[in-house]
Amino acid sequence: MIDTLRADESLSDQKDINVGVDDMELLLSYLEAMGVADKVSFDLSLARGLDYYSGLIFEVSPKASTQVGSIAAGGRYDGLVGMYGKQPVPCVGISFGVDRIFTLLAAQRKRAHLSLSTRRMSSSWPLEARSLAAIFWNV
């Protein structure tokens, strides 16, 4: 796919597209080095519903065809944090569909082994973190 995009003359003068292709090529080289490139596919028609993404976006889907859809999604959003502060901050993030993941696990009748890490977000965060941990302990 990358060779096809690079060979397309109508895209050769499109800076944003070329930066995206460079990002894809770099990501692919990392995936190959980790031995997982065969588990990843690129879909140029993928679109996230939020306009703050500024680069590569991604979705994580289970191997088996299920009714659940993607179980995680995210991408690059360099301008988002800078909207609320004085400095631009390059960012990449991902959100997990915990309900979807547990639905899949229940269907497979496997118990989830989960590590939970929290970060302080507000003065009430210790209480909120404990409440969140309790939810996962009871699964």
Residue 119's pLDDT is what?
66
Averaged confidence pLDDT in the chain: 80
The single residue listed with the structure tokens 């993030």 is 93
Q: Which residues contact 111 (CB under 8 A, 6 or more apart)?
A: 105
pLDDT bin (cut points 50, 70, 90) of residue 118 is low
pLDDT bin (cut points 50, 70, 90) of residue 12 is confident
pLDDT bin (cut points 50, 70, 90) of residue 108 is confident
Q: List b or e across 83-120, with b for residues whose CB sees 16 or more CB atoms inside 10 angstroms.
A: eeeeeeeebeeeeebeebbeebeeeeeeeeeeeeeeee
Residue 62's pLDDT is what?
85
Residue 97's pLDDT is what?
92
Residue 20's pLDDT is what?
84
Instruction: Tell me the mean pLDDT in the region 78-97.
Output: 85
Instruction: Tell me the mean pLDDT in the region 64-69.
Output: 73
pLDDT bin (cut points 50, 70, 90) of residue 67 is confident
Least confident interval from 49-58, 114-123, 124-133:
114-123
pTM for the complete prediction?
0.62
